[in-house]
């Protein structure tokens, strides 16, 4: 069963990747064009710079992980735009790796059976938004693969009462590489450090931080030195995230913050569309939302015992989704496998009576989940 489901998962993932491949030109979605420009600059030895802009200013907007992954292809197939199809095949190759990472996470961390973890992995990567991103030169597929592999390493580190220095450093390197793919990936690092600190394992936390520092320090130094190299008029798309975000909130004040929060809360309701509730009445959406919260609450309570780092990561990650002045759905979908796993565990917990007792309402289930981590911390 193990080998058969593994082969089936990888085969279906490859077919899904090929199915998602399209002939859309690069640059329609903006970020894909940036990734190719930056990867070409790295491949040609021009440094991490926007060679499409006058003066080729340094790039401090996108972390260099994905451009570094794409750069070698420019040596093999340098002619643009005929080489675009090869860049899209990168995600076709990465999709089975993402499916394997999710499958292993659901199996080893979530405790699902071999068959259930394979089904969950394929259901995760077959979600329409992730399939759409996979057909573009976007980093979502790579991020999903690294995210769940890194979380698995972090959970193993926390679950062992004593760990080797090598294991702690490797976990730090994995989380550092995650943040070099997407800045929001940094949310996993404080989650692991807090989980270790609660267990009074300061030495392991220090080694984790050291491993992450090796990868993140050069990039952060680059951002500090070159974060304002591009003109202010295009800083939102080319400049440093931090500077642009601080300037936006400083200029907009409380009205801007309230507008961002309102729009992002609405944007986080996007998953309801997957269940055909996008055009439903307000009451139907509210009922579906409450049901999802209760289900996820029950599942996350189970995951808190199995995967505390993954649950803790949701706090800074979710906060960033609320305050980031950009539609949150693209940043939400990499969490989809984790949320699906929580949903499956929630259904199992409720069916077994682990989270429901006679006379207790669903609201108490959610409150109990929220209060248990606080009490343990």
pLDDT in tens, 108-129: 999 999 999 999 999 999 987 8
DSSP SS3 for 58: strand
CA angle 213, 217, 219 (to 5 degrees): 130
Please give the average per-residue pLDDT across 216-245, as a whole number. Answer: 85
DSSP string, 138-194: -SHHHHHHHHHHHHHHHHHHHHSSS--HHHHHHHHHHHHHHHHH-GGGGGHHHHHHH
Position 275 confidence tier, pLDDT thresholds 50, 70, 90: low
| Cα distance between residue 298 and residue 342, in whole Å | 8
Answer whether residue 357 shows pLDDT above 60: no
157, 191 in Cβ contact below 8 A? no
| Cα distance between residue 80 and residue 88, in whole Å | 13
Answer whether residue 199 shows pLDDT above 50: yes
Eight-state DSSP code of residue 219: H
| Cα distance between residue 362 and residue 295, in whole Å | 9
Q: Where are the domains of the chain?
A: 153-231, 245-377
User: Dihedral of the CA atoms 151, 157, 159, 163 (nearest 10)?
Assistant: 170
pLDDT in tens, 315-350: 999 999 998 888 887 888 899 999 999 999 998 888
DSSP string, 98-141: HHHHHHHIIIIIS---HHHHHHHHHHHHTSHHHHHHHTTT-SHH
Contacts of 66 (CB under 8 A, 6+ apart): 35, 39, 139, 142, 181
pLDDT in tens, 277-323: 667 777 777 777 777 788 888 899 999 999 999 999 999 999 999 98
pLDDT in tens, 39-62: 999 999 999 999 999 999 999 999
User: Dihedral of the CA atoms 244, 87, 89, 144 (nearest 10)?
Assistant: -20
Choose the weakest-confidence range: 162-176, 215-229, 262-276, 300-314. Answer: 262-276
Distances (CA, A) of 103 to 14, 122, 190, 243: 15, 8, 25, 38
| Cα distance between residue 334 and residue 125, in whole Å | 9
Residue 322's H or E segment, with its range, is helix 308-323
CA angle 288, 291, 294 (to 5 degrees): 150
Q: Which residues pair with 58 in a beta bridge?
A: 49
CA angle 374, 375, 377 (to 5 degrees): 65
φ and ψ at 49, to 5 degrees?
-140, 155
């Amino acid at each position: 069963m193990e080998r058969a489901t593994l082969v089936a998962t990888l085969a279906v993932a490859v077919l899904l990747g090929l199915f998602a491949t399209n002939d859309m030109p690069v640059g329609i979605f903006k970020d894909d064009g940036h990734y190719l420009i930056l990867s070409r600059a790295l491949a040609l030895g021009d440094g991490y710079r926007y060679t499409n802009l006058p003066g080729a200013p340094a790039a401090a907007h996108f972390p260099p992980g994905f451009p570094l992954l794409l750069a070698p292809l420019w040596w093999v197939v340098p002619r643009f735009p005929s080489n675009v199809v090869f860049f899209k095949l990168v995600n076709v190759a990465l999709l089975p790796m993402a499916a394997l990472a999710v499958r292993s996470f659901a199996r080893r961390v979530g405790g699902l059976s071999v068959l259930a973890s394979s089904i969950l992995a394929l259901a995760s990567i077959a979600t329409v938004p992730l399939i759409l991103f996979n057909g573009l030169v976007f980093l979502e597929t790579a991020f999903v693969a690294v995210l769940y592999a890194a979380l698995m390493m972090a959970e193993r580190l926390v679950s062992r009462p004593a760990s080797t220095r090598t294991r702690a450093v490797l976990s730090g390197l994995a989380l550092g590489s995650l943040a070099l793919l997407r800045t929001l990936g940094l949310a996993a690092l404080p989650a692991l450090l807090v989980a270790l600190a609660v267990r009074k394992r300061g030495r392991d936390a220090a080694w984790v931080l050291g491993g992450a520092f090796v990868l993140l320090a050069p990039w952060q130094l680059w951002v500090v030195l070159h974060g304002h190299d591009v003109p202010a008029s295009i800083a939102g798309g080319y400049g440093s995230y931090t500077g642009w975000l601080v300037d936006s909130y400083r200029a907009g004040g409380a009205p801007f913050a309230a507008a961002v929060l309102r729009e992002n809360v609405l944007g986080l309701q996007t998953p309801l569309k997957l269940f055909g509730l996008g055009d439903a009445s307000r009451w139907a959406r509210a009922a579906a939302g409450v049901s999802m919260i209760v289900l996820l609450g029950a599942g996350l309570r189970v995951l808190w015992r199995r995967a505390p780092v993954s649950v803790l990561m949701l706090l800074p990650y979710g906060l960033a989704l609320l305050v980031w002045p950009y539609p949150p759905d693209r940043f939400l979908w990499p969490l989809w496998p984790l949320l699906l796993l929580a949903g499956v565990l929630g259904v199992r917990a409720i069916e077994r009576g682990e989270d429901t007792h006679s006379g207790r309402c669903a609201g108490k289930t959610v409150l109990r989940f929220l209060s248990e981590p606080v009490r343990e911390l």
